[in-house]
Amino acid sequence: MNFFSDSLVYFIKKPLIPIYVATVTLVYSILMIFNPLKSLINFLDFTITDDLGTSIVIFSKSFYTFKYLPYFLLGILGVSVILALFSSLIYSGFMNIVHLTVKRIKTNFSDYLQGLKKGFFKSTLVFFQFYLTILLIVGFLPLALTPFYILRDSVLESGNDPLILYLFLAIIILVIVSLAVIIYMKFMFKFPSIFYFSRYPIEKANSAVNARYWRTFGKVFILLLLLVGIEFVMFQITNKALEFLVGFVLYTVYFSFFAVFPFYTFDKLVEPYKLND
């Protein structure tokens, strides 16, 4: 509860944080009105159909070949670079403001510019690794799901007990959820460390998180679970105007806390372990 109460104090003393987040989520909410993923999921009616499974298997067999794979990987690499540069340009100054606010240091616009100067290059590298990891996982997800659909077809055709099918699906879901939490922990605490330390920030971020890994893991899991809940609510809304309004409010509130969380948590993590600059 201290995190939420302290964050509210930060928002009152430094309204730039929620205002900045609101500006970004305003653009995001407008883009999400035209989200093609939602149209696809609504079309499939939230079910895994035979046609979808067959399509994934056929797609995997035809797409993941030496003919297309080099272009696919180069595309992922290029998109990762562009997203990393853009994200670092947008967020480096903002992250320095959050960092100083959490440390209860007064800030002004010069601190935003100082954040760009201090953190742009290092943040770009972290963002690049983050986007590259995410895009590779998402890009190869159909290939990872292919064995499940092949096994499903085999079980259904033979009339065997589908228990093994459900167990396999549960393992896939568990792996995906675990990957999401681990990826967040691996990258998100590197950003505050960049502004906290001038030397070896990545190594010190890893040390701080590993020292209290499971306690941090639980907090991150809850944080990401809330995001899943918000996305579930958003997928239930069919009215575009209502979707925009609800999305703007929910995303602004959530991502305001989301932006503070890694800096607040990291500040607490480094205290007991005396990670000196």
Assigned domain for 22 exists: yes
**Which is higher by pLDDT, 142 or 274?**
142
On whether residue 144 sits in a domain, the answer given is no
Query: What was the pLDDT predicted at 38?
Result: 58
**Domain interval for residue 188:** 2-34+65-139+161-273
What's the total number of domains in the chain? 1
- Report pLDDT digits (tens) over 187-210: 888 888 888 887 778 887 888 777
Please tell me the distance from the alpha carbon of residue 102 to that of residue 267, in angstroms, as a whole number.
8
The verdict on residue 88 lying in a domain is: yes
The amino acid present at 57, given as its one-letter code, is V
Give a yes or no: residue 43 inside a domain: no
The reply to whether 89 falls in a domain is yes
Q: How far apart are CA 194 and CA 132, in angstroms?
A: 20
Is residue 71 in a domain?
yes
Domain for residue 132, yes or no?
Answer: yes
Q: What percent of the chain has pLDDT over 90?
A: 11
**pTM, rounded to two decimals:** 0.79
User: How far is the CA of 184 from the CAs of 126, 197, 200, in angstroms?
Assistant: 12, 20, 20
Is there a domain that residue 60 lies in? no
Instruction: Determine contact, residues 212/269, Cβ cutoff 8 Å.
Output: yes
Say which range, 112-126, 153-167, 253-267, has the weakest mean pLDDT.
Answer: 153-167
Residue 272 class from Cβ within 10 Å (0-12 exposed, 13-18 middle, 19+ buried)? exposed
Listed residue (22, 109, 102, 123) closest to 262, CA to CA: 102
